[in-house]
Structure 1
């Protein structure tokens, strides 16, 4: 896996989203200009996150104002939830 945090998220967001998609995940990055706080949302879902085959598991979701911090948090959460997914 590319060391995204070392590159800076602004340099590699597209590459990261493609990599997540290649692993069967659905990833969304949203900026909500109508919110005063927590304007960014990062959401990752998909079958690789399911604990048991055929059993739905909640997505990984983060809301906040610092997109870099949010992307780092989501990547750490994904690695914790599915070890080896992003190797």
Structure 2
């Protein structure tokens, strides 16, 4: 069970013009989780992560968003 340690991804992303999707693919044996974020603040680019540890993935996506658009989620 995942604890969703990065709840601000879900609540703040919509407030800043971003769309976030978390997908679980139960048919895969590896890299079952995919997180994708896109929207106007990213200038048409996509932030994406895939792996097995969703908590780590959400943290990584938040870090990538902060790198690409400083101040966006502060």
Q: Tell me the TM-score normalised to structure 2 length.
A: 0.88
Larger relative contact order, structure 1 or 2 (CA cutoff 8 Å, min sep 6) = 2
Structure 2 unaligned blocks of 5 or more: none
Task: Point out the structure with the larger helix share.
Answer: 1
Q: Determine which structure has more spread, i.e. the larger CA radius of gyration.
A: 1
Match of 1:10 among 4, 10, 34: 4
Task: Point out the structure with the larger strand share.
Answer: 2
SS in 2 for 1:20: helix
Q: How big is the shift at 1:17? A: 1.1
Q: CA RMSD in A?
A: 1.8
SS in 2 for 1:19: helix
Structure 1 unaligned blocks of 5 or more: 1-7, 51-55
